[in-house]
Structure 1
């Protein structure tokens, strides 16, 4: 086999007494696509930061093109040919596509001014080469999330990169957009680029990657060709044990309870038919559909975050003057799609984030005793298995899965009757996903009504008792128990005409 273009040799990193990575051996070859897998907190991000010069190793070294390197900064590794597309976008909305792609590398006129004509021309040539169809002069603020992702990829590849590192690249992409991304990845591999692909979605890894490296607790637990692995062996290497069934068993033959949430003639957008449905106590109802089908908009409308016409009832009583605060008072709680934008106070402690929406039952907000937040947060930590040494640490120090557990625990402090979850496991590793699934099933078994939105079809199929498939803002089909499958959902979601499954309006 040829020499790797990028490699970690006995790479270790410690922060004080905490050994984050221990003797990592990792290789990326030209034309290969290597999956980097592991639970949140396993050390994947630290490895990427070491490979690109953001961190310096405690011991060991990085090799690039056969030479030992000690990058002075991420810019130095980028200039050498290592490009990274991070999970969190770095685009600037007020700038155009072209300005974002060539930020800090704009072509200049002989007078030292930006050469706008050359900037647009270079951008169009690059986008055409990558098969990305975006107007170079469009403001990034006007683009969809998926198109912003494409801008990030083009920005990373504006120079002659030898290695491209992609961190959760499909988290915000629809199925069609994911297919296009995979086409770009395969074309880049054919041109000789080495790809590092970080994802919690195992189906994608088996489709797009040639090799796999699994890290657990800072140590490589398994690596080799993808063909030598199955889903179960990857999961076992990631979590250190067999998970068994990823999803808890659904209740068989048990009737759901009374309608807990009822939606009547809710008009979410102009030109879209009104929506009516119910979620019963003890039921997990799924909302499936392609990105842009209207799932999030419907959830926000129910929650009162969007002004729409129609009626929302909780236990048969209309919820007047809909707003998020009134919904919370009535017993409807919502986990938003983006925990970092809409859910977390990143500079605040775990304890403060947990207590953000309620001081605790029977406690007046103006009379919260010193240490009360921390004491409650420690109880929450133990109950929900949140991995953190000290609840006084910033929540930004936690992995994505542990941040998600804190947010769900915070919602449950309000003792909801209805729980709306928009992408409940986005960016969460497979071990934490299993724990969240079991938690949600337990809540449903106790009588809570749960409305779950997910772009991961396996999640909808494995978790939900009943599923509505959305298309173009309307409920296109209702699938019951044995009807629920990935094929059935996609046949409706991607269809151009209405399905004939028949959607029950429940009155």
Structure 2
């Protein structure tokens, strides 16, 4: 086999008595794209930090271009040709694309000033080479999330990079934007770059990656060509159980269930067609479709976060005060798709985040006893299996899955009649997903009505009792029972002209 571009050799990392990585072996070869998989906390981030010099190994070493390397820090590894595109963007919105891409390496005039013509020219050449159609003079604040991702990649590749590490690159991208990213990755592979692709989305891994390495508890459980694996074998290597065990059995007997939510002739935007549907007690109803199909916009308008017109009834009563505060008071709660932007107080404690919307529940809100929030949070921690050493720690210290469980638990403290969950497992590892699915199915079994929006088809298929497929703001198809399949959903979601009659009125 050809020599690896980048490799970890018997790499171990200890933080005090805690062994985070244990004799780990990892390789990236020219023209390959290696999927790095594992649950949150498995050691993926620690490995990347060791490979790029942010951490020093406790044992073992890093090899780059066949030689043992001891990096002084990430700058040295970047200058050597190892670039990282992090999940959290590092671009500066007030600067142009060119100023971001060449930040710290701006071409200068003979007077020592930034040469704007060369700055924009160099950036344009780089963007053209990557197939990115953007004007280098555009301010980053004016870009879409997908274009910001492209700028991050261009910034990482401004030098002669040999290895590119992508951390959850499609977490905020639509399907079309993801397709463009995949074309970019294929081009980089053909140029001989080695890529590391970190993602919880198995479908993407099987489409774009050539090889896979799975880490569990700081050690490699399996690695090899992607063609040697299935979805099920990857999941089992990550969490120790089969894919089929992730989703609890569905509720098959709901014919006599009470109607919890009734939406009739509801219009989100003036040009949108009206939609009508219902959600019953004990039911998990799914909204599927491509990003941009109108799923989130519909849910936010029903909840009252955005404008919408039409009839919304909760338990037979009109929801007159359709605003977030009015919806919460009536018993309609929503989990937004971005927990960091709209859900969490990142620097506040786990306990404070949990009690944020119900500070005085069980006590007078004006005289909350010392330790009351902590005791409530500890009960929540035990009920939902939140992994945290102490509920007084900042919630930013928790994994994505544990943060999501805290948010779901906080919604339930408001005793909802209906839960709307927008991308409930985004950025959550496979093991935590299974735990969240179990929680949701138990809530449905106890009689709660749940509306789920998800871009992961396997989640919609495995979790939902009924599914509406949305396209261009309208309901294109309703699926139920054994008709809920990935193939059926994607065929309707991607159809351009096919007409689906009788799908707007489901009340």
**What TM-score do you get using the length of structure 1 for normalisation?**
0.96
Deviations 1:383-441 (A, max 9, x none): 11111122222211111111111111111111111111111111111111111112111
Is the partner of 1:224 in helix, strand or coil?
A: strand
What residue number does 1:288 align with? 288
Q: Where does structure 2 lack aligned partners over 5 or more consecutive residues?
A: none
What residue number does 2:323 align with? 323
Is the partner of 1:25 in helix, strand or coil?
A: strand
Is the partner of 1:62 in helix, strand or coil?
A: strand
Q: Does 1:151 align with 2:142?
A: no
- CA distance in 2 between counterparts of 1:305 and 1:125 reads 42
Q: 1:30-429, aligned counterparts within 5 Å?
A: 30-242=30-242, 244-255=244-255, 257-359=257-359, 361-429=361-429
- After TM superposition, give the deviation of residue 132 of structure 1 in Å: 1.7
- CA distance in 2 between counterparts of 1:297 and 1:330 reads 20
- CA distance in 1 between counterparts of 2:86 and 2:167 reads 5
Q: Which moved more, 1:438-447 or 1:472-481?
A: 472-481
- After TM superposition, give the deviation of residue 500 of structure 1 in Å: 1.4
CA contact (8 A) 1:282 1:444 kept: yes
Is the partner of 2:467 in helix, strand or coil?
A: strand
Is the partner of 1:159 in helix, strand or coil?
A: coil
Is the partner of 1:420 in helix, strand or coil?
A: strand
- CA distance in 2 between counterparts of 1:152 and 1:255 reads 51
Is the partner of 2:8 in helix, strand or coil?
A: strand
CA gap of 1:300–1:254, structure 2 versus 1, over 3 A, is closer
- After TM superposition, give the deviation of residue 327 of structure 1 in Å: 0.9
State the number of aligned residues.
507
- CA distance in 1 between counterparts of 2:244 and 2:272 reads 42
- CA distance in 2 between counterparts of 1:187 and 1:362 reads 59
- After TM superposition, give the deviation of residue 357 of structure 1 in Å: 1.3
Is the partner of 1:263 in helix, strand or coil?
A: strand
- CA distance in 1 between counterparts of 2:303 and 2:92 reads 30
Is the partner of 1:452 in helix, strand or coil?
A: strand
- CA distance in 2 between counterparts of 1:134 and 1:61 reads 40
CA gap of 1:328–1:273, structure 2 versus 1, over 3 A, is same
- After TM superposition, give the deviation of residue 485 of structure 1 in Å: 2.0
Is the partner of 1:365 in helix, strand or coil?
A: coil
Q: Which moved more, 1:251-260 or 1:141-150?
A: 251-260
Q: 1:469-484, aligned counterparts within 5 Å?
A: 469-484=469-484
- After TM superposition, give the deviation of residue 143 of structure 1 in Å: 2.4
Is the partner of 2:403 in helix, strand or coil?
A: helix
What residue number does 1:467 align with? 467
CA contact (8 A) 1:82 1:161 kept: yes
- After TM superposition, give the deviation of residue 331 of structure 1 in Å: 0.7
Is the partner of 1:374 in helix, strand or coil?
A: helix
- CA distance in 2 between counterparts of 1:374 and 1:504 reads 47
What residue number does 2:488 align with? 488
CA contact (8 A) 2:251 2:283 kept: no
Task: Compute the RMSD of aligned alpha carbons.
Answer: 1.8
Is the partner of 1:104 in helix, strand or coil?
A: coil
- CA distance in 2 between counterparts of 1:180 and 1:92 reads 23
CA contact (8 A) 2:231 2:243 kept: no
CA gap of 1:140–1:166, structure 2 versus 1, over 3 A, is same
- CA distance in 2 between counterparts of 1:133 and 1:256 reads 55
- After TM superposition, give the deviation of residue 487 of structure 1 in Å: 2.2
CA contact (8 A) 2:474 2:504 kept: no
Q: Does 1:440 align with 2:440?
A: yes
What residue number does 1:450 align with? 450
What residue number does 1:497 align with? 497
**What TM-score do you get using the length of structure 2 for normalisation?**
0.96
CA gap of 1:46–1:447, structure 2 versus 1, over 3 A, is same
Q: Where does structure 1 lack aligned partners over 5 or more consecutive residues?
A: none
CA gap of 1:103–1:276, structure 2 versus 1, over 3 A, is farther
CA gap of 1:21–1:360, structure 2 versus 1, over 3 A, is farther
- CA distance in 2 between counterparts of 1:263 and 1:72 reads 60
